[in-house]
Each structure stands twice: as structure tokens, then as C-alpha cells.
Amino acid sequence: MADSDSQAEDILADPDGTFAFYYRYIRGVRQIEEFRDKQTESIETLNELLEVPQALVDCVIAGSTSTVLERLIEMTDTLGRFGTLVMVAQDWDDPTLWRSSMKRLAEDITPTLSQYADQLPALD
């Protein structure tokens, strides 16, 4: 979680930022033989080859507190109630940002999301 949606977008847009690095690594390991000869390519090229921008869209919920809550409520509406929400802190590259994000998740998001989910019918 960031102070604003635009701050979160800037963090995700960094081609060598912590999120892009993570997905480039994970996707690259799965295709290591195929990418051995591409080690000298630019980071931007590797990101495109490994579909990192799409992974960020598909797998990361980021933004302001209200945006993150909205996306989690949408996910709850789609999937139903769930018991555990895991937050990934990408190696604490920015301790202030991660502490703030964790605090917002714990104090602002989780209680509201739990209250929302508790109103939904239980799945059998």
C-alpha cells in the first residue's frame, strides 16, 4: 500500500524495481534453459519476454488504502470468504514504505475486509 495510487503505479512501473525483479526472477527460473542466451538483453527486454508487466497486473494488488480495500472486496465477492491474507514484503527495499503498508493492512484494511466478509453467506 502506498500513500496514493500514483505512488503505487510509480513503484510498479520501475522496470528494475523490487516487484519487476521478483517476477523477472520467478519467471526466468522457470525458463532458465530458454533464457541462457538472453542474459545480456536489457532489463526492459527481459521483462517483456518474461511477461513481467502482465504478471504485475495479474498478481499484485497495490494502490492507496481505498484502492487496495476495493480490490480485496472485489476478490472476496469473486472467490468467497477466505481465512488468510498474505502480504509479501519484497526484501524490505524501503523499510518505511513496508512498515507503513503493513500497518495500513493491519489497522485499516483487515478490520473492514473482515467485517465485510462476515456478512457474506458461508460457502458449503
pTM (2 d.p.)? 0.85
The whole-angstrom separation of Cα 76 and Cα 116 is 9
Distance of CA 72 to the CA centre of its chain: 12
Contacts 24+ apart (CB under 8 A), 97-101: 97/2, 97/11, 100/1, 101/1, 101/2
| Residue pLDDT, tens place only, 68-111 | 999 999 999 998 888 888 887 667 788 899 999 999 999 999 99
| Residue pLDDT, tens place only, 5-35 | 999 999 999 999 999 999 999 988 888 888 7
Angle ∠(111,13,45) on CA atoms, nearest 5: 135
**Contacting residues for 122 by C-beta, under 8 A, at least 6 apart:** 81
Task: Give domain limits for the chain.
Answer: 5-118
The whole-angstrom separation of Cα 89 and Cα 6 is 19
